[in-house]
């Protein structure tokens, strides 16, 4: 799949409020075409030079956009992680001395709310990792296109700069994802329990436009796995292969397969 189509698909699949935060790939492609096709002028500033300056300016604007959005989401995730942990501790405090839950509807309803919120939280964090991956990949591809079409050498120094940016550093979010998965396994360990509440959770965990966050998360995982699988085009600018051994979300990326509770 060409990157432009891949990016468009991911934008359509993500949360509605995230859709204007992705790479302006089309605008950058237009500038690359303009730079490579503009006639050379004798004296003064050529159209190509103006387009080149605009290209570099837009790249920096895009990086600022990525960093601002990523850091904002990351800070929100840290707060929500603490709040979820506190809610879980309050629920666990209601357990009897033998570990049995109280037999009342309030406990059951709160457990369902906690379960739904954990799953949504996990899904949003996976989407943010995918956001980082696809925007980095888009930058690497447009810079490769620029170097190829113009004969310039912009990709290496610019990518070295990108590798130091907050939006590229996903270690903290990845750590929270693993902690979230561990919490789900500890609190809701049995397959029977997962299947029992699967329908109720799927109906409730939806985004503003009616798209289930499960669908968005599965699309993001499938996209990351494909982008980072390591192919004949793998290079020093490619992301390393994705290790999804610890997450069963990827199972649901297969066509027509049911979406599991993580």
The answer to whether 16 and 208 have CB atoms below 8 angstroms apart is: yes
Distance CA(148)–CA(120), nearest Å, equals: 42
Q: Residue 258: its pLDDT value, please?
A: 34
In which domain, by residue range, is 150 found? 71-190+211-222
Nearest to 170 by CA among 70, 82, 243: 70
Q: What's the full length of the chain, in residues?
A: 262
Q: Residue 99: its pLDDT value, please?
A: 66
Domain-embedded: residue 35: no
Q: What are phi and psi of 237, to 5 degrees?
A: -95, -5
Q: Please write the tens of the pLDDT for every residue from 212-238.
A: 677 888 888 888 878 776 543 456 677
How many CA atoms lie within 13 Å of 249's alpha carbon, on the beta-carbon side?
A: 30
Domains contained in the chain, number? 1
Domain-embedded: residue 28: no
Helix axis angle for 3-13 and 213-227, nearest 10°, is 160
Q: How far is CA 213 from the centre of its chain?
A: 12
The answer to whether 227 and 140 have CB atoms below 8 angstroms apart is: no
pTM for the full predicted model: 0.79
Domain-embedded: residue 27: no
Picking from 15-19, 95-99, 123-127, 166-170, which range would have the lowest pLDDT averaged per residue?
95-99
Domain-embedded: residue 48: no
Domain-embedded: residue 202: no
Question: Per the structure block, which two tokens stand in for 126?
Answer: 């996976």
Domain-embedded: residue 99: yes
Q: What are phi and psi of 234, to 5 degrees?
A: -65, 135
Domain-embedded: residue 133: yes
Q: How far is CA 3 from the centre of its chain?
A: 16
Domain-embedded: residue 66: no
Q: Please write the tens of the pLDDT for every residue from 71-94.
A: 999 999 999 999 999 998 888 888
Q: Residue 251: its pLDDT value, please?
A: 42
Query: If you average pLDDT over every residue of the chain, what do you get?
Result: 79
When pLDDT is averaged across residues 163-187 and rounded to a whole number, the result is 91
């Amino acid at each position: 799949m060409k990157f432009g189509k891949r990016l468009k698909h991911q934008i359509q699949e993500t949360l509605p409020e995230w859709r204007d935060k992705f790479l302006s790939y089309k605008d950058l492609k237009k500038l690359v075409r303009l730079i490579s096709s503009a006639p050379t002028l004798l004296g003064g500033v050529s159209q190509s030079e103006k387009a080149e300056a605009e290209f570099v300016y837009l790249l920096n604007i895009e990086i600022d956009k990525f960093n601002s959005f990523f850091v904002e989401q990351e800070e929100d995730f840290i707060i929500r992680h603490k709040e979820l942990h506190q809610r879980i501790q309050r629920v666990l405090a209601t357990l009897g001395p033998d570990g049995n839950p109280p037999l009342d509807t309030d406990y059951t309803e709160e457990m369902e709310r906690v379960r739904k919120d954990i799953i949504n939280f996990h899904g949003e964090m996976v989407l943010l990792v995918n956001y980082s991956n696809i925007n980095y990949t888009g930058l690497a591809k447009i810079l490769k296109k620029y170097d190829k079409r113009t004969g310039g050498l912009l990709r290496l120094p610019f990518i070295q700069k990108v590798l130091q940016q907050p939006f590229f550093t996903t270690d903290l979010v990845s750590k929270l994802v693993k902690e979230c998965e561990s919490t789900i396994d500890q609190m809701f360990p049995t397959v029977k329990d997962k299947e029992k509440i699967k329908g109720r959770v799927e109906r409730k965990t939806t985004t503003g436009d009616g798209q289930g966050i499960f669908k968005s998360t599965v699309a993001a995982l499938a996209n990351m796995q494909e982008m980072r699988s390591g192919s004949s085009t793998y290079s020093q600018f490619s992301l390393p292969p994705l290790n999804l051994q610890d997450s069963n979300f990827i199972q649901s990326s297969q066509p027509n397969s049911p979406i599991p509770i993580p």
